[in-house]
Structure 1
Amino acid sequence: MLQAFLLPMLPVVLVAALGAVLSRRTEWLNNPSLGTLVTNIGLPALLIHSLLKMDVDLAGMGELLAAMASALALIAMITWLVLRLTGQSVRDYLAVLTNPNTGNLGIPVVYALLGEDALAPAVVISSVVTISHFTLGVSVMSGSFKPKELVKNMPAIALMVSALLIGFQVELPAFAMRTLDLLGGLTLPVMLLLLGRSLGNLKLGHTTRWGRLLAMAIYRPVVGVLVAFLITRLFAMGEIEGLVLMIQCAMPTAVISYILATRYQGPVDDVAALIILSLPFSLITVALLNTLFVSA
């Protein structure tokens, strides 16, 4: 059982580790445009290509979007209540504990464990979380909502383009699909390299709050997978889509939360610690999911 999980995950770990090593020894990954390239070109191309190749119907796509949006909303409500009851800062931790790392970790993990059939749902779910980062994340941490951030969100635009193509049953020519495939192909390896770079460059400041942070690190994947399991039953989701939703919701604290905390004067050291601490608990949760639902 364990081998069935570890072998598909090994390439994910190795590529991320390579990113961490390269960030320490070279300048190759230090260009900030790499992340922008993946977000604005690679991920939208991967999204459109995956949805069109999978021949997803508009109703199915809408259901997946609604399921993930509902999961995030429920996680946010539970987290808000937990933070208020425990006396923790809603501004500092609500978005951090709600939005998982579905992008540069979740998509590769889903692909490694479930294969190409799960890629389209994984990218759709990741796009919903990306939108959440620039709505819930920005509004909570900054104290104001900026609609222009959403308008410039390329994954959201790619979702709308995909919906239009699917709704009007537009079939792109072979050369266009091949172009999208080539552009989307850069997404997974670069995402993992950048994840490794981010983890390798995180700076943990002095803190005496390790007990509280450890509890939060366990909370993030556990509440995510429990809520996702509930949503799969409420929406009567198919096996693949349900597994993708649970795996994505079990991901650790997102690296983008660290970026937002830095930008809006949040608890940068705590968020950095949560990214690292929640990673092993997330992988343990995914391993259990793999044993219960994939390898069974």
Structure 2
Amino acid sequence: MIQQVFSIVVPLFVIAAVGYFYGSRVRPEMRITNQLIMDVFMPALIFHVMIQEDFYPSQYLPIMLAGVLLMLGSGVIAFGLARLIHLPWRGFVPPAMFSNWANLGLPLYVFSLGDAALGAGVMLVVAGNILCFTIGTYIYSGKLSSLEVLKTPVIVAVILGGAFNFLDIRLPLAFDKSVEMLGQIAIPLMLFSLGVRLTRASWKDSRAGVIMAMFCPMVGVALALLLIELIPMSAMHQNILILFGALPPAVVNFILAEQYQTEPDAVASMVLIGNFFAVISLPVVLFFVLSN
């Protein structure tokens, strides 16, 4: 079992580590690469998953609901904790809610549970993005713009994929293969990009970073275990939700915090230390999932 766990998590961290050391040495400009991930490769992955004949959106409603409740629950608990230990809540709450669903989550689900886990993982990414670019943006900026989320390519891909699925439209094989190949680029490139991005995060506010590193897996997994008792879902979706709850803060938190100047150093520390701590926490949670 231990060997199986390491065979799953080692490739994830090796690819991210390659990105980290390459980023430390070369300091590449990743803005265009990250934009390509979010504007082309991730939408292609989502669209391709959603137009498959065996993709039925209704089967993912329970896990999407559970994912949303997990994020909101994490946010409420983080708000109370921030007030209790005197940390700025606008900088502490979003990293507790918005984790690495895409960069780390999707590869983790696929490597540990197989390709069948990709559909549920994609729908959790969708739910997370909707919350992040509505509630998350509001917390960081103090302003709410619900229309912004509809402009993001990921959400456009969801709408188009849903329409194609509902109308039973099938792409010609050559086009379907092209979209599939574009989507296949997303997962390894996201891991590499994560590693590069972490070279620019900060160790300055290590107190907040250490607290968040422990908060995410402990609270996330506890909420996931509670929700799988309350919301009926398949065994695979239960396992995905537990892994979802264990994920560290997403890099997008650092980007938004920097954009709106809301505790950017503290948020950068939470992202950096949280992702490094995941080297320990994720194998433990994965061992628990695979042993059940």
TM over 0.5, shorter chain: yes
Q: Shift in Å at residue 24 of structure 1?
A: 2.7
Q: Shift in Å at residue 139 of structure 1?
A: 0.5
Matched with 2:19 is 19
Q: Shift in Å at residue 211 of structure 1?
A: 4.1
Matched with 1:273 is 269
Matched with 2:75 is 76
Q: Give CA-to-partner distance per residue, 1:32-88, whole Å, 9 cap, x none.
A: 111111111111111122233371213113333222222212222222232233333
Worse-superposed segment, 165-174 or 191-200: 165-174
Q: In 2 relative to 1, CA 112–54 (structure 1 residues): closer, same or farther, beyond 3 Å?
A: farther
Matched with 2:280 is 284
Q: In 2 relative to 1, CA 23–216 (structure 1 residues): closer, same or farther, beyond 3 Å?
A: closer
Counterparts of 1:161 and 1:62, CA distance in 2:
18
> Does residue 36 of structure 2 align to residue 37 of structure 1?
yes
Q: Give CA-to-partner distance per residue, 1:143-193, whole Å, 9 cap, x none.
A: 101233212112122222222222233333322321211110110111011
Within 5 Å, give how 1:119-268 maps onto structure 2. 119-205=118-204, 207=205, 210-268=206-264
Q: Give CA-to-partner distance per residue, 1:235-274, whole Å, 9 cap, x none.
A: 2111111211221221111111111111111222222221
In structure 2, give the amino acid aligned to 1:35.
N
Counterparts of 1:39 and 1:51, CA distance in 2:
17
**Equivalent position SS for 1:53:** coil
Counterparts of 1:45 and 1:23, CA distance in 2:
26
Counterparts of 2:31 and 2:291, CA distance in 1:
39
**Equivalent position SS for 2:171:** coil
Q: In 2 relative to 1, CA 54–5 (structure 1 residues): closer, same or farther, beyond 3 Å?
A: farther
Counterparts of 2:77 and 2:103, CA distance in 1:
25
The answer to whether the Cα contact below 8 Å between 1:54 and 1:120 also exists between their aligned partners in 2 is no
Worse-superposed segment, 56-65 or 139-148: 56-65
Q: CA RMSD in A?
A: 2.0
> Does residue 100 of structure 2 align to residue 104 of structure 1?
no
Q: Shift in Å at residue 6 of structure 1?
A: 0.8
Counterparts of 1:94 and 1:151, CA distance in 2:
23
Q: Shift in Å at residue 95 of structure 1?
A: 1.0
* Gap runs ≥5 in structure 1: none
- Runs of 4 or more, structure 1, over 4 Å off, are none
Q: Give CA-to-partner distance per residue, 1:105-150, whole Å, 9 cap, x none.
A: 1111222212211112112111221222211221011110123321
Percent identity, aligned pairs only, is 25
The answer to whether the Cα contact below 8 Å between 2:202 and 2:265 also exists between their aligned partners in 1 is yes
* Gap runs ≥5 in structure 2: none
Counterparts of 1:75 and 1:54, CA distance in 2:
35
**Equivalent position SS for 2:170:** coil
Counterparts of 2:163 and 2:61, CA distance in 1:
12
State TM-score, norm by structure 1.
0.90
In structure 1, give the amino acid aligned to 2:257.
A
State TM-score, norm by structure 2.
0.92
In structure 2, give the amino acid aligned to 1:6.
F
